[in-house]
Amino acid sequence: MTQQLGAMQDWKLRVTHLIDHAAREHGDREIVSRWADGSETRTNWAGIRHDALRMTQALRRLGIQPGDRIATLAMNHSRHLVTWYGAVGAGGILHTINPRLFDDQLDYIVNHAEDRVMLFDKIWAPIVERMKPRWPTVEHYICFDNSEPALHFEEWLSPEDGHTEWSDGDERDACMLCYTSGTTGNPKGVIYEHRSTMLHALSAISPPVFGMDCRSVMLPIVPMFHAASWGLPWAGAAAGAKFVYSAVNDGAVLCDLIEREKVTCSAGVPTVWLALFQHIDANGGKLPASLETVVCGGSAMPRTMIERLMRQGVRVAHAWGMTETSPIGTTGAETWNWDELTFEEKVTIKSMQGRPPFGVEIRCVDLDDPTKVLPRDGVTAGALQVRGPWVVKRYFKAEDDAVTAGQWFDTGDVGLIYPDGTLHLTDRTKDVIKSGGEWISSVALENAAIGHPAVSEAAAIGVFHPKWDERPLLVVVKKPGADVSGDDLREFLLGHVAKWWVPDAVVFVDQIPHTGTGKISKKDLREQFSSYAWDAGG
């Protein structure tokens, strides 16, 4: 018997459909940009599409071919958004670069990607000046907000009229490249496809994820250079949402923007929310009432933060993901019996990383024997694996696949899954502390410590111990003016974690090192305390 094919239309899942839809159906929905110099500009989805078409023409004029890489070193603003669609519109691959990476990483990434065009913000001009001699593949430099030291973006687009068509191609063509920050070894490039990006965008606007439609006003705090900005520039176009961009992540600026632009939904890492709360507390203000949903991820969201937002009526979506998963993996979606739960129960569920939306599958396997799939019993922790159409199969230019035969990708995270599918991340495989052969979750210790009123930031690391192999050391930054001793904190932790998990010592520091993406750098901390003597601090 011959296979009967379906007879529906060919409509390739290419991301240019997103901007066409946004311009056609939601053309006058605004895109607001608050620039680094304090000025503000406004355009809309129709304007973004028109400028992206002009950029497509300008790229072709430079000789850019489909598949060529176009890099950005930029914060969040409308010209950066134009570039996302303009680059892919010309058939190019958009490569967003984190400007906070170290020179050697910037050197490696740009040369590995073989970027041909570099668009950058004036504030990153020193990086460009410094790195230019090390970036031989880059032929053209364009500055988003200045005419020195490169061609100004608007000047570059000025000869173009936007009367052109997007480049066509296959839906499996690459459209975007993001490098993981890579705590060990060289950064690895994750190469997204038009198809994977479209499927991800459709999932992203659904209620369990960002829950966006054309009434939404989204302020993406997550930078456009971090994990594809959680897919928001693509998803926002599918929804036709209003976007409010800020090129600076300052608590006062963000609060003001949320208030004035009636922002309903925002997304960012926990540290940014801490900054926002600090601003509110210092100025006696309160969270703007328009805010309905906060999507938070990138690192674990402290319980106190979830509680505070929920008490103000904000829906919290505590999400987990990674560059390799485009990045949506799980979201803090409500359970079916949500309305029957107590406030405390709700906060407990939201403190975990939530459940996967349709399109992502997760499982945990034994840490020592990865062929053993662990039960979803809410008890047994193991290595988290993931698969789905927007999960990486192979890193850019790698010869081998990054997945197992069953397509499962090893995330490097450690967690457990509850019978209802809720994921609870307990650590990174590299960060778990192994004491006397038993695992201690550094994340659980940090979450508990941050609940103490005198603690501003806390990190737990395993330090060599002659008897136990490793014992936990807690590194703490106190809140300004707060006073607490190491013994006070250890006493406090006793009420929250198993006795043998309580760190043997607490060290107070002025600051904890962070990575280029704003996460605590355990690698640096471990180096800093590699020769820590237990007796001295004990």
Q: By C-beta, is 262 or 523 nearer to ligand AMP? A: 523
Which candidate, 324, 393, 325, places its Cα nearest to that of 179? 324
Nearest distance from C-beta of residue 101 to ligand AMP, angstroms: 12
Report the C-alpha gap between 242 and 261 in whole angstroms.
10
Active site residues: 180, 324, 434, 439
Q: Smaller CB distance to ligand AMP: residue 190 or 291? A: 190
Q: What is the distance between the alpha carbons of residues 318 and 449, in angstroms, rounded to a whole number? A: 19
- Angle in degrees, CA 172, 177, 182, rounded to 5: 130
Which residues make Cβ contacts (< 8 Å) with residue 467, sequence separation at least 6? 436
Alpha-carbon gap, residue 271 to 353, rounded angstroms: 17
Nearer to ligand AMP, 288 or 327 (CB): 327
CB of 411 to ligand AMP, least distance (A): 5
- In single-letter form, the type of residue at position 202 comes to L
The residue whose two tokens read 């409509």 is 11
CA distance readout (Å), 41 to 223, 245, 356? 19, 10, 37
CB 326 within 8 A of CB 346: no
Query: Between 59 and 319, whose beta carbon lies closer to ligand AMP?
Result: 319
Residues that bind ligand AMP (CB under 6 A): 180-181, 227, 297-300, 318-323, 327, 353, 411-413, 425, 428, 517
- Min CB(398)–ligand AMP separation in Å: 17
- Give CA separation, 159 vs 53, 408, 438, 519, 525, in Å: 12, 48, 66, 42, 52
Q: Which is nearer to ligand AMP, 298 or 462 (CB)?
A: 298
Rounded least distance, CB 244 to ligand AMP, Å: 23
User: Residue 384 Cβ, how far from ligand AMP at the closest point, in Å?
Assistant: 8
* List of residues 6+ apart from 505 with CB closer than 8 A: 473, 474, 486, 532, 534, 537, 538
